Amino acid sequence: MYQNIEKTTSFLNFWKINRPQFSLYAKEAKEVSLEFYKTVQDNIPYQIIRLNSQKHKLGDYWYYEDKAIQEGCLYRWNVDGVSILDPLALSYTGNMPVKEKKSIFLLHKQATSKKFSIKDKDRLIYEVHIGFFSKEQTYTTFIDKIPYLKELGINTVEFLPIYEWDDYTGNLHPDSTPIQNAWGYNPINFFATTKKFSSSKEENSFSEVEEFRNLVEILHKNGIEVLLDVVYNHTAEGGKTGYLHHFKALGEDTFYIKNKDKDFSNFSGCGNSFHCNHTVTKEMIIESLLYWYLEMGVDGFRFDLAPVLGRDSHGQWLQRSLLYDLVEHPILSHATLISESWDLGGYFVGAMPSGWSEWNDSYRDTIRKFIRGDFGQIPDLIKRIFGSIDIFHANKKKYQATINFIACHDGFTMWDVLSYNRKYNFANGEKNQDGNNENYSYNHGEEGETKNPAILKLRIQQMKNMMLLLYISQGIPMLLMGDEIARTQLGNNNAYCQNNKITWMDWSRKDSFQDIFQFTKSMIQLRKTYSIFRKEEYLKMDEEIILHGVKLHQPDYSFHSLSIAFELWDQESDTQFYIALNSYSESLDFELPILKNKKEWYLLTDTSKVETCDFKAEEKITETNYSVISKSSIILVAK
């Protein structure tokens, strides 16, 4: 009866065997069949194999093996009369209605790409949507952009979701036109690579798997590691009225969190919440991660709405959950694990198990408020620049527990933070009611895009201020795609449904904003060169860091303070830096520290001066004070 089954603890291990074998969890099912199709257009299977519970069932798992089955065959499962997709398929047929979609059978292969050994402290993340990096971008054409990424200096790409997802979420425009999900946070399953970025347009092709595996390998050869933004918190099946792909037919109470009224809980905001801590689903998620890590070669993961992975069947927070299992897993604990530590049910930043890195929205908000000129930010600004220890003090990763970002896919771009006082999401069809209302943004004198040279100059200056803060801060910095060339979404802060010029990378802006690009490159190189900006152990106060105000040793923490300065000493290279930040409406004269050993201060960069974007440090500072103009920052280096 079980002669063809190797040792296994779950049905998931069946398909790890490199031979034509199918398996399915269907605990309550009475009748299970496999339906095989000749073409993608066929609605009637040419062959139906009805499984026998005595011969093809082990516990709650149904399985079938046939050596005659070839890679690329099209099939669906049928469970008690309901035809469904295989939730474990590595590929699906192309862009067609759910009821017509087919699973494509593929064998498993080990990745040839070797894992990276980039230390957390050295990681420089670039969050990018493969399809938006240019119009009609594919896995293969993304390779053409690798020289650009290397020129910029980043060493890690974090791809927005590439699991096959459903284009439509069930949300409607007022005219009942379905809203397209363009970001990809609407997964059909957790294994299939989406065809949306495939070079092949054939609906039954499965070349997307090799295309993505090849992309990972080439990125690795160019010194760039790969992180995936993964979505386990919900599926595209939605709530009661949502689509049925597979999980609903296999057991709603197994795969979804239900509330006291037996309805779908909605901690995701997408109609359902995946029950990540059921034995079956937990194994499925771990096997999914192992598939991407071991077979596709990726180096780590960012978990969307990660707290859902910490909830039980009733939605309550578990003290021991999948979140703990992952940081203690003998293989996956070696992958990079990053959480978005909030969902619709709670805020858990700093409460993830030790060993996770976490998106730090407090960093984002504090930097934006300081740049805008809000009062009362200096005490928090110091905490955010120096690793947010107040939030992550219990995490063994220390500074590397915080993922520092000022903009991400969800919200304004950096340029829009400086160009809009309010959001403009009308194109999303929800009467501008979607998206966050508070963005801590300021348009600097004119709403939206402008040709006013004074406003443009100030916005560019502020962009450089934000880049400077991002790359001098302790922790792991993350840059949103295109911020280095002032990408705009025209004020849309929830562009999940925009696959057009609103979200596409406009490469012409690289020439228009060359000074921002050059400044960003220089800041990244500075961070790479000096370890003082990427420490593993906590900085030693009054030895590696000395805080100042406009007067030496007198930092101003008062409510109305809008400036701070500090010295940093890089012990490895015996190099001193002086950094001053002025968000006040007027220039401020900062008293400079007196140097020893015949060293003198040189201007590394001044964000108000275009000519210092390349950090040549040729201008000697002969005065004892430096006038930092309004809304600008400086870095001096001793030599």
For residues 76 and 84, the answer to whether their CB atoms sit within 8 Å is yes
pLDDT higher than 70, residue 2: no
pLDDT higher than 70, residue 110: yes
d(C-alpha 157, C-alpha 219), whole Å: 9
pLDDT higher than 90, residue 152: yes
Give the confidence band of 97 by pLDDT, cuts at 50, 70, 90: confident
pLDDT recorded at residue 20: 77
Task: Report if residue 569 sits inside a domain.
Answer: yes
| Chain centroid offset of residue 416 CA | 19
pLDDT recorded at residue 417: 98
Task: Report if residue 584 sits inside a domain.
Answer: yes
Q: Which of 60, 86, 237, 340 is catalytic?
A: 340
Mean pLDDT within 381-386: 98
Residues 6+ apart with CB under 8 A from 337: 300, 301, 303, 326, 327, 355, 356, 357
Residues 6+ apart with CB under 8 A from 457: none
Token digits of residue 628: 């930092």
d(C-alpha 371, C-alpha 380), whole Å: 13
Residues 6+ apart with CB under 8 A from 230: 161, 163, 190, 288, 289, 292, 301, 302, 303, 304
Give the confidence band of 100 by pLDDT, cuts at 50, 70, 90: confident
d(C-alpha 86, C-alpha 63), whole Å: 12
Give tens-digit pLDDT for 301-349: 999 999 999 999 999 999 899 999 999 999 999 999 999 999 999 999 9
Give tens-digit pLDDT for 398-439: 999 999 999 999 999 999 999 999 999 999 988 999 999 999
pLDDT higher than 90, residue 113: no
Task: Report if residue 580 sits inside a domain.
Answer: yes
| Chain centroid offset of residue 197 CA | 18
pLDDT recorded at residue 117: 82
pLDDT recorded at residue 94: 87
pLDDT recorded at residue 17: 52
Overall domain count for the chain: 1
pLDDT higher than 60, residue 13: no
Give tens-digit pLDDT for 521-565: 999 999 999 999 999 999 999 899 999 999 999 999 999 999 999
Give tens-digit pLDDT for 198-230: 999 899 899 999 999 999 999 999 999 999 999
d(C-alpha 197, C-alpha 206), whole Å: 12
Give the confidence band of 180 by pLDDT, cuts at 50, 70, 90: confident
Give the confidence band of 16 by pLDDT, cuts at 50, 70, 90: low
Mean pLDDT within 377-394: 98
**CA neighbor of 545 nearest in space, from 558, 532, 534:** 532
Give tens-digit pLDDT for 250-280: 999 999 999 988 899 999 988 899 999 999 9
Q: Which of 208, 304, 343, 416 is catalytic?
A: 304
pLDDT recorded at residue 298: 96
Domain hosting 580: range is 545-638
**Averaged pLDDT of the chain:** 93
pLDDT recorded at residue 349: 97
Residues 6+ apart with CB under 8 A from 32: 24, 26, 50, 51, 56, 62, 77, 78, 79, 80
pLDDT higher than 90, residue 36: yes
pLDDT recorded at residue 115: 74
d(C-alpha 116, C-alpha 101), whole Å: 37
CATH classification of the domain holding 562: 2.60.40.1180
Token digits of residue 369: 């408020």
304 noted as active-site residue = yes
Task: Report if residue 610 sits inside a domain.
Answer: yes
pLDDT higher than 70, residue 602: yes
Give the least confident one: 21-35, 99-113, 162-176.
Answer: 162-176
Q: What is the sign, positive or negative, of the torsion defined by CA atoms of 385, 388, 390, 394?
A: negative
252 noted as active-site residue = no
Task: Report if residue 568 sits inside a domain.
Answer: yes
pLDDT higher than 90, residue 59: yes
Task: Report if residue 571 sits inside a domain.
Answer: yes
pLDDT recorded at residue 5: 35
d(C-alpha 474, C-alpha 476), whole Å: 7
Distances (CA, A) of 443 to 413, 427, 439, 447, 467: 13, 20, 12, 5, 18
Task: Report if residue 576 sits inside a domain.
Answer: yes
Give the confidence band of 116 by pLDDT, cuts at 50, 70, 90: confident
Task: Report if residue 386 sits inside a domain.
Answer: no
For residues 336 and 400, the answer to whether their CB atoms sit within 8 Å is no
pLDDT higher than 70, residue 93: yes
pLDDT higher than 70, residue 161: yes
pLDDT higher than 60, residue 10: no
Give the confidence band of 361 by pLDDT, cuts at 50, 70, 90: very high
pLDDT higher than 90, residue 368: yes
